[in-house]
Amino acid sequence: MDIINILPDSVANQIAAGEVVDRPAGAVKELLENAMDAGATQIDLVVKDAGRTLIQVVDNGSGMSDSDARICFERHATSKIHRADDLFDIHTMGFRGEALASIAAIAQVELRTRLHGSELGTTVVIEGSHIVSQQPTACPTGTSLSVKNLFFNVPARRNFLKKDSVELSHIEEVFRRVSLIHYDLGFTFTSNGKTLYDLKSGTLLQRITGLYGTAYKERMYAVEEQTDLVRIKGFVSRPEFSRRTRGEQYLFVNGRYIKHPLLSAAVEKAYGDLLPDHCYPSYFIGLEVDPSRIDVNIHPTKTEVKFVDEHALFAILRSAVKRSLGQFSLATELSFDTPEEFNIAPAPKDYMPPQPKISYNPGYNPFRASSSQNRIKFEEPDYTTQPETPALPEYQPETRRLQSITNSCIQVQNRYIVTPLSSGLAIIDQQRAHERILFDRISNSEYRIQNSQALLFPVNCTFSAADAEMLGELIPDLKQYGFEIAALNQTTFVVTATPADLKDSDLQPLLEQLLNDYKASTLQKFNNRNKSLSASLARQMAVKAGTALEQEQMQQLVADLFACPMADTAPSGKKIITIVKPEELLK
């Protein structure tokens, strides 16, 4: 009995859709790339309910004929590939011919398109791979493709979608990846009737600031290199603006976003020791390579590629970034302009400077004995008493109770505080200890409200559209911590007050990191936003490793730590204190 069957096209397309369109962001990527391949100069993205209800991409590209509008939904229908050799000479974004067929298999699709020079266009309506209608229509030149009710006929896959905020963040990331490197095109992004981005064509730096805020203009160093093998052009962040996550790291090859661990490592290695521990640079780098030297057809989403000369590319990219860091960081440190205090105007002709006058006391005799009234009295310090220092409270990790036997502390490598206890030596990580202290303080609602300080000069902070929307939602929560923040416009906020424990901090990167931490922690460790915000603020406000502390500061830090209910564990879950027992010291 025969058991092998040929799958119907509709089923095969749904299977292919699982590889190409696993979530709304996948459909957005394919539609944006098709619009660029059509030669569009303006592309508009509209989504509703994070793509569940509607994904629409409108472009002013070449448009399609009546027959092309119909056949483009067939599987493996493509205008870019004609023979196998073409796979190794790819100059377009899409070429597999699976995108529209896959999307049409799992959604209700409406295509409206018109060629330049044609009086009428065509409207095609498809539901689950079945053509509902095709008819002439009046429409603008170019193409408008609407994807409605994604996964309407695959409920199991629809149930696996995350909440709207998560799916929208994935769509926004796809939009950034596409629009970043194609800075010569105009893009808009509208979600639920609200315009998140309105990007005009311009330079790469203008596109970066359009997506991430004007503050990035001062944070970037340009990278440029030209060799026979590759052309490199982009920007890397200054070391002092490194981040704790790898979120803003973008590599592009021939206009296509890629993930390549070796090339990413080349950029990070170029920084060497310039980066703080556990921090990563931001970079936006485009590479142009001969298409015959790369293979982009190893993954359905085309984000993974193989290079023939990857080790040579590694060396060239690392060298280019390293030279950029050295060149621009040195230029900011050295200035060959004449300082204003030395910019003295020349004297007029025939000018004679006046003779200096000397004033002195003719009756002064340094050898004459001084009177007791004019003699300075030096007092010997009293070494019999010592200044009072706060006694250390008992430390109780878990069920053990350790009594401190002395008040003295020493600092090791400006990172650890060592203090004797009755059971040995306590080695304390000063940053994690301060994080625990601050976390316990600012988690207390009464303490948060009472500890706010007004800024002498208000500070303006600018964010990307999505981050600005998130910050707007968090303003009531941040107010409880002592922040006073108000929106000036859609992407700019003014800060007029901060928590009292926040000393001399740059508010722009602090709020940016707070938003990044909030995005990550709300999905992982913490179940409510207050704990997430408390942990993020405590980490940023804490004294950092590498900071030298005075004896009184160390004693106070140890005393405050031992007063915490969970003194041995930081909010991140990492260990704060290590006890070295006497028998271990004897060894």
Per-residue pLDDT averaged across 400-429, rounded?
A: 77
Residues in the chain: 587
pLDDT of amino acid 334: 39
Q: Is the pLDDT of residue 418 over 60?
A: yes
CATH class of 205-328: alpha beta
Q: Which of 73-77, 289-293, 517-521 has the highest mean pLDDT?
A: 289-293
Task: Beginning with the edge strand found earlier in the chain, give each strand of the sheet holding 130-137 in spatial order.
Answer: 130-137, 121-127, 108-114, 142-148, 54-59, 42-48, 186-191, 194-199
Confidence of residue 121 (pLDDT cuts 50, 70, 90): very high
Per-residue pLDDT averaged across 93-119, rounded?
A: 82
| CB of 221 closer than 8 Å to CB of 235 | yes
- 372-383: per-residue pLDDT in tens? 444 434 344 444
Per-residue pLDDT averaged across 44-52, rounded?
A: 95
Per-residue pLDDT averaged across 424-445, rounded?
A: 88
pLDDT of amino acid 387: 43
Q: Give the tokens for residue 150.
A: 């994604």
Confidence of residue 366 (pLDDT cuts 50, 70, 90): low
- Looking at residue 97, the DSSP 8-state letter turns out to be S
Q: What is the mean pLDDT of the chain?
A: 80
Query: Of 100, 99, 90, which Cα lies nearest the Cα of 296?
Result: 90
Say which residue, 500 or 7, is predicted with more confidence: 500
pLDDT of amino acid 227: 93
Per-residue pLDDT averaged across 84-100, rounded?
A: 56
pLDDT of amino acid 417: 93
Between CA 425 and CA 317 the distance in angstroms is 48
Between CA 245 and CA 173 the distance in angstroms is 15
Between CA 587 and CA 582 the distance in angstroms is 9
pTM of the complete model: 0.67
pLDDT of amino acid 449: 59
The domains of the chain are located at: 9-202, 205-328, 410-580
Chosen CATH of 410-580 out of 3.30.1180.20, 1.20.58.190, 3.30.1300.10, 3.30.1370.100: 3.30.1370.100
Element (H, E) at 35: helix 24-37
Q: Is the pLDDT of residue 48 over 50?
A: yes
- Write down the CATH number for the domain with range 9-202: 3.30.565.10
pLDDT of amino acid 266: 93
287, exposed or middle or buried, with CB in 10 Å at 0-12, 13-18, 19+? buried
pLDDT of amino acid 399: 33
Q: Is the pLDDT of residue 18 over 80?
A: no
CB atoms within 10 A of CB 135: 10
Query: Of 71, 80, 76, which Cα lies nearest the Cα of 98?
Result: 76
Q: Of 128-142, 203-217, 357-371, 553-567, give the lowest mean pLDDT range.
A: 357-371
Say which residue, 162 or 245, is predicted with more confidence: 162
Between CA 421 and CA 412 the distance in angstroms is 17
Say which residue, 299 or 36, is predicted with more confidence: 36
